[in-house]
Amino acid sequence: MATNTPDRARVRLDDISSRAYEHPADRGALVALRSLRGFDEVFRKLSGLFNERALRLMFLSGAVRVGERQFPDVHDYVRDAAYVLDLKEVPELYIKMDPKPNAMAIGSQKPFIVMTSGLFDLLDAEEQRFVVGHEVGHILSGHAVYRTMLLALINLAARVAWIPLGYIGLRAIVAALEEWYRKSELSCDRAGLLSAQDPDAAKRALMKMAGGSRLAEMNTDAFLEQAKEYDEGGDARDSLLKLMSLIGTTHPFAVVRTAELHRWIEDGSYRTILAGDYPRRATDKDASVSEEARNAANSYKQSWERSSDPLVGMVRDVAGTAANAGGKIFDTVAERWKSAGGRGGSDSGQSSRN
């Protein structure tokens, strides 16, 4: 297997907060939820429906657990990712026989990672580092708790589909959660890059997920040109088709992920973090919900301003109002939760990130 080693040692990001790499829309939602101390404990209890212990036993019995004697190179990648992102406990990783390329972080009490053989065989060593770092990013951010809620709501929506109003209401919530889920994937692409610290490998991995293993037949610059063409769209019909294609999806399209990661690198954010300029976990409790809500809305506004999509042009002016309204709503909810007996503060999110 080819190995592309970075030209310098990887930088350890001591005490890095997940806020450093989270997409503004992802970060805004997580900061809001973490600010409601005790709220994520409720989610954790709800996630009891999702039997973490049974899932671990399933992979323990039907997959290969990575370790010093099994897939030792991948074991090193997990340890390195935990070291670079300063995750206190190295998660288990299982490789499962499945030709479909995929990887996931599962669980909230003791999260673990699963990678399919299809993905393992598709990627070279540094690309695997990127994917492992991506999944460690999900663990550090505590995404599993809220993703469990999404799965529960999707199942509930399917059960009440015969009740029109109830189904419509649930579908609206699910659609919003799916949008957050997609943004969480963009967050963890950044985490994967911070872990591997090899931008070319990160882009190659995303490109291979779209076009397969024949890397010699693909070109990163041409792939980014595809992303630009997709973003610009054609007429309003293309815009509508793009929106419809997102219904029921939890992952952004590969060209979108590559373009977003490339933009994050080019705007200097990646190098700034490697230089040591990033938020620490010790400051998580001071994160402002209203400010993050505004940042989330502004990120949408900026993406709309970059786009020449005709449908986007019709709605971009809404973002500024949504930013202020969203911040006020989250502040109000937070205050009411605390007044009703929530314990205040935001460090409950820490347990979901370790």
Cα separation of 17 and 57, whole Å?
31
281 and 250 Cβ atoms separated by less than 8 Å? no
Question: By three-state DSSP, how is residue 112 classified?
Answer: strand
pLDDT at 325 (0 to 100): 45
Question: By three-state DSSP, how is residue 89 classified?
Answer: coil
pLDDT at 336 (0 to 100): 53
- Asked if the model's pLDDT at residue 40 lies above 70, the reply is no
257 and 230 Cβ atoms separated by less than 8 Å? no
Cα separation of 117 and 131, whole Å?
13
Question: DSSP character for 353?
Answer: T
Q: What is the pLDDT of residues 176-206, one digit of tens each?
A: 677 778 889 999 999 999 999 999 999 999 9
Q: What is the pLDDT of residues 143-167, one digit of tens each?
A: 876 666 666 666 665 665 555 655 5
The encoded tokens of residue 269 equal 């954010």
Neighbour count for residue 19 (Cβ, 10 Å) = 22
Taking Cα atoms as reference points, which of 89, 103, 84, 102 lies closest to residue 6? Answer: 84
pLDDT at 161 (0 to 100): 56
pLDDT at 244 (0 to 100): 72
**Total residue length of the chain:** 354
Q: What is the pTM of this model?
A: 0.76
Neighbour count for residue 51 (Cβ, 10 Å) = 12
Question: By three-state DSSP, how is residue 2 classified?
Answer: coil
Residue 234: CA count within 13 A, CB half-sphere: 5
Q: How far is CA 288 from the centre of its chain?
A: 21
Cα separation of 109 and 106, whole Å?
10
Q: What is the pLDDT of residues 287-345, one digit of tens each?
A: 776 665 666 556 555 554 555 555 454 444 444 444 444 444 445 545 555 555 544 44
Q: What is the pLDDT of residues 41-90, one digit of tens each?
A: 655 555 554 567 788 899 999 999 999 999 999 999 999 999 999 999 99
Side chain identity, residue 251: H
Question: DSSP character for 268?
Answer: T
pLDDT at 256 (0 to 100): 92
7 and 118 Cβ atoms separated by less than 8 Å? no
φ, ψ of residue 52 in degrees (nearest 5): -65, -40
pLDDT at 14 (0 to 100): 97
The encoded tokens of residue 338 equal 């605390």
Element (H, E) at 274: helix 269-274
